[in-house]
Structure 1
Amino acid sequence: MVKRKVKLVNISDVESFNAICSKFDCDMDLSSGKYYVNAKSIMGIFSLDLDLPLELMADTEDEAAVEEAFREFIC
């Protein structure tokens, strides 16, 4: 499992982030505090408080692919 802190600032960021998540063949979750949502669900992402720190959890061992795909969002 690969975990990274991410920052989504606006609607455009959420849409881009969600599109990238959907390209992966593994489970991807996004957490904010005690709340966890499917990162492939745009409605789930919008249900989180984007002002709080977010953590992406990708159920893959390919750390390089996650780093490359999400480099603009990783804190």
Structure 2
Amino acid sequence: MAQPVYHPEFACVVHGLAYDFATHTGTLAMAEHNCCDMAGAIALFQRIDPEVNTIATIAGGKDDTTYRRRGGEWVAA
């Protein structure tokens, strides 16, 4: 199994990411006890799809934070 790597734009240890173009939703899987840089995550997923509206983060296999675009602003929940 491949080892997770530190990703400087996310500022965390990443296991992988996925993107659903139908729902404009990105998913970032991180190592346990990690959190990502919100601005970095938004920037990367916007390069994948400028219409991204939701980014879900998972840390150590557990739901962590969800970023949602509300109008022109992003909020974290």
TM-score over 0.5 for the alignment? Answer: no
Greater strand content: 2
Report the TM-score when normalising by structure 2. 0.30
Q: State the TM-score, normalizing by the size of structure 1.
A: 0.30
Higher relative contact order (CA 8 A, sep 6+): 1
Larger radius of gyration: 2
